[in-house]
Amino acid sequence: MKPYYMPCYQVRETTLLKDAWTLAIEALSWIELQNLSEKLALSKTAKQLHITNTFAKGLAHKLVCETMRKRNLLDRLINHALAPRAISDFDLGVRAFLRLYAYETKTEPKRDVHKEAVEIARMGRSILEWETLQPVEKALGALLSLKTETVLRELSDDEKTALQTCHPSWFVKYCFKLFGRNDALKLLESGQTFPPVYVRLNTLKSTEEKTLEALQKEDIQLAPVQGLKDVYKITKTKQPLASTKSFKEGLFYVQDKASCLAAEVTAPEPGMTVFDVCAAPGAKTTHLAMLMQNKGAIFSLDYSKRRMNAWKQSISRMGVENATPIISDACQPLPLNGTADIVILDPPCTSTGVFARTPSAKWRLSPRSIRKMAEIQWQMLRNSADKVKEDGWLIYSTCSITVEENEMQIERFLKLHLEFKLCETKPLIGQAGLRGLTKCQRLYPHMHECNGFFIAKLQRKP
């Protein structure tokens, strides 16, 4: 009998798929163990396993993000199939595999789901070993025949909505109360899809026209964003943006359009002094430097050495020459002499506006997280205000949709700081702020195809 040789392309495809699943299982384990983000967990895992294939990493990224996006629904299905046991009874690797298996077989449409399930189970055994998966083998079969409607039956409206939109129950209740049921459902449902990717062209390195030509040569298709300068939505690309020649040359920065709005609202002029508080990894600093034409001075503060290393890489790649890094905790008085024309603060937040882009964030939070984060932001806001000169500007922004982190902070601040007044945020591409603060601006994923965002602009009176 002639030996069987698998065609080279099948070998490559099989190896790629196994590498992707190995990355995904390990990354999901790190996320659960250390509360890492998807991006950080995948980067850590790729280095740990020495997997460099771009396509394997790309597939793993999709698997991890989509599995984390639907984690509560997947766990509910898995627990139903495992009963009387639960997913929490098993180790991290088995948990990760079960979630990936449930995602692929229960939420992704397949022509032959049974054949797909057999292949996934076989691959799981080769990655984790047969003995490891043996205790859950029966559950794999039970999951295939399980109907989602059965699991959702007899649940309360809030619980059912939480599973259908894949959000924590407390967050569903919060959104219903803040926005009303209809608008809240639109917001929650928008979290089921990954938002568009945007880039900001870097005029410090080249003109807009030349950069667009360079991107076109690399088969990157874009559409301009109305209301913002130099900002484009990616409509098509054949390769990861970070691997392109244009990216490496610093011709553009991958940056959500909501974040780009913050710098444009700030409106710095060449020659000004700007304090960029919570500056890493460098999106705001590089944008401010571009608007200032590398003239004047930007002092960028952040408490994280790791994130400031990323800031330094961004500064170098984008050709910024007027920015100085400072490692400092903004919860303490800022270690800067004098005052600035502009202080821009983008403090740590609950990230409730980026659940679609970073799904793991929603499972790390609780109602207490909002209160705790708001107090940190309050300390940073007051410390930042101390460094604004007369007639100077204070810009406050978050990627959160909660009122505690946004409008309520500004209300509290204005009551205690009569020397500041609230001003219009222009350009206006979003919705008016809540609680009567119509000069503030909000962006929502379901309305504006970007991160959820809040921005306020205040001026210190003479």
CA distances (Å), 357 to each of 39, 145, 198, 353, in order? Answer: 10, 31, 12, 9
Q: How many CA atoms lie within 13 A of 286 on its CB side?
A: 29
**Which of 65, 175, 260, 399 is flagged as catalytic?**
399
Q: State how far the Cα of 199 lies from the Cα of 142, in Å rounded to an integer.
A: 45
Query: Looking at the DSSP assignment, which residues form a beta bridge with residue 457?
Result: 395, 423
Judge if the upstream peptide bond of residue 427 is cis by omega within 30 degrees of 0: yes
Q: How many CA atoms lie within 13 A of 188 on its CB side?
A: 27
Q: State how far the Cα of 447 lies from the Cα of 270, in Å rounded to an integer.
A: 34
Query: Looking at the DSSP assignment, which residues form a beta bridge with residue 370?
Result: none
Q: State how far the Cα of 264 lies from the Cα of 389, in Å rounded to an integer.
A: 20
Q: State how far the Cα of 123 lies from the Cα of 133, in Å rounded to an integer.
A: 11
- Strand-by-strand arrangement of the 198-201 sheet: 221-224, 231-236, 198-201, 252-254
Q: What are phi and psi of 276, to 5 degrees?
A: -100, 105
Residue entry with tokens 């790309």: 58
Q: State how far the Cα of 199 lies from the Cα of 251, in Å rounded to an integer.
A: 10
Q: State how far the Cα of 187 lies from the Cα of 90, in Å rounded to an integer.
A: 34
Residues near 175 by beta carbon (within 8 Å), at least 6 away in sequence: 184, 187, 188, 401
The answer to whether residue 399 is catalytic is yes
Helix orientation angle between 181-190 and 157-165, rounded to the nearest 10 degrees: 30
List the one residue out of 87, 101, 99 whose CA is nearest residue 135: 87
Q: State how far the Cα of 232 lies from the Cα of 235, in Å rounded to an integer.
A: 9
Q: Just list the catalytic residues.
A: 399
